[in-house]
Amino acid sequence: MTATMEKNCSSSQINDRLSPKAEAGKNPILQVDHLVMRFGGLAAINDISCSIFHSNITAIIGPNGAGKTTFFNCLTGFYKPTEGMIRMHHEDGTVFFLERMDDFRISASTNLVRTFQNIRLFKGMTVLENLMVAQHNKLVRTFGSAISGLFCSSGYVAREREALDLAKYWLDRIGLIESANEPAGSLPYGSQRRLEIVRAMCAEPRLLCLDEPAAGLNPNETSQMNTLLRFIRDKHAVSIMLIEHDMSMVMKISDHVIVLDYGEKISDGTPEFVRNDPAVIAAYLGTEDLENIN
């Protein structure tokens, strides 16, 4: 009910409320309006409204416990938000209301795919199998096609070859083609991070949500990660949304930064704008006023 009510209120108004828009000329791919997520009495997300733009890298930052991962879980359907509306716009004009959809349906039909803070690969399966599982929905469009695979029909074989080519393309990209037949769990940590992102890419997303993609990586691996993310944005026209604690990485690659603190949005804009925003500095370093009171 809240969703339908808020549909009427103009979304541009909401977006302009806090700060100048990061990319004024672009269309939003994702619009979040008055999102609230309560766990009992605790509001982990308290009235967040923001827009994510096409072919942008958007970073969500904030101190620990700011509600970043909760925000992600709401977007990807792992949590059902208490209030608010999340709209996803496709290029063809279709609009999806994500707050009403199941988690697997969000990635299957709206092409919003996520990764996890703690890597969730299928560790016992090989690297290649991981990428093939990600293309499940492409391979099994209808019930009939699932059955036809049993008899090695030509249509199925062609589709499988296509899927294999895509997997091979991405493995080449991240330099894991040599270990394609090894169990994913046996890869080094940095490779596992990259593999998880590539696996999400095999599901052909429009918006890719990465939960701390650079966590635990060394500077070298982080710069590799930056290259990969830029490549995904530029060559595949995929919008990326990421949660990150590594500020140097965030400032380097993101086009748009949203800062959360205690479940509320405190700043929203270009990296330069956010870096100089007193509210952000206060959230990270504390304010003079606060110290005076103490």
* Of the candidate residues 30, 48, 75, 200, the single one contacting another protein (CB under 8 A): 200
Residue pair 200/134 in contact by the 8 Å Cβ criterion: yes
Q: Rounded CA gap, 198 and 159, in Å?
A: 19
**Contact flag: residue 215 with another protein (CB under 8 A):** no
The stretch among 5-13, 29-37, 106-114, 280-288 that binds another protein (CB under 8 A) is 106-114
> In the chain, which ranges are continuous DSSP H helix?
2-8, 11-16, 68-75, 103-109, 127-134, 136-139, 143-148, 154-174, 189-202, 219-236, 247-253, 271-275, 278-285, 288-293
Q: Identify the DSSP state of 150.
A: G
Q: Rounded CA gap, 196 and 122, in Å?
A: 10
**Contact flag: residue 60 with another protein (CB under 8 A):** no
Q: Using the minimum distance from each CB to another protein, give the nearer residue, 14 or 139.
A: 139
> If DSSP codes are grouped into helix, strand and coil, which group holds residue 211?
strand
Q: Rounded CA gap, 33 and 68, in Å?
A: 16
CB of 293 to another protein, least distance (A): 43
Residue pair 124/183 in contact by the 8 Å Cβ criterion: yes
Residues in the interface with another protein (CB under 8 A) total 46
**Contact flag: residue 177 with another protein (CB under 8 A):** yes
Residues 6+ apart with CB under 8 A from 162: 138
**Contact flag: residue 113 with another protein (CB under 8 A):** yes
CB of 126 to another protein, least distance (A): 5
Interaction mask 180-199, another protein, x per CB under 8 A:
xx-----------------x
* Of the candidate residues 15, 107, 239, 267, the single one contacting another protein (CB under 8 A): 107
The stretch among 30-38, 46-54, 83-91, 113-121 that binds another protein (CB under 8 A) is 113-121
Residues 6-25 that bind another protein (CB under 8 A): none
DSSP states of 247-281 as a string?
HHHHHHH-SEEEEEETTEEEEEE-HHHHHT-HHHH
* Of the candidate residues 134, 195, 232, 242, the single one contacting another protein (CB under 8 A): 134
**Contact flag: residue 243 with another protein (CB under 8 A):** no
* Of the candidate residues 76, 192, 239, 267, the single one contacting another protein (CB under 8 A): 76
CB of 255 to another protein, least distance (A): 24
Residue pair 206/198 in contact by the 8 Å Cβ criterion: no
Q: Choose among 11, 27, 19: nearest CA to 84.
A: 11
The site for another protein (CB under 8 A) is made up of 76, 78, 103-109, 113-116, 120-126, 128-130, 132-137, 139-140, 146, 149-150, 160-161, 164-165, 168, 171, 177, 180-181, 199-200, 203
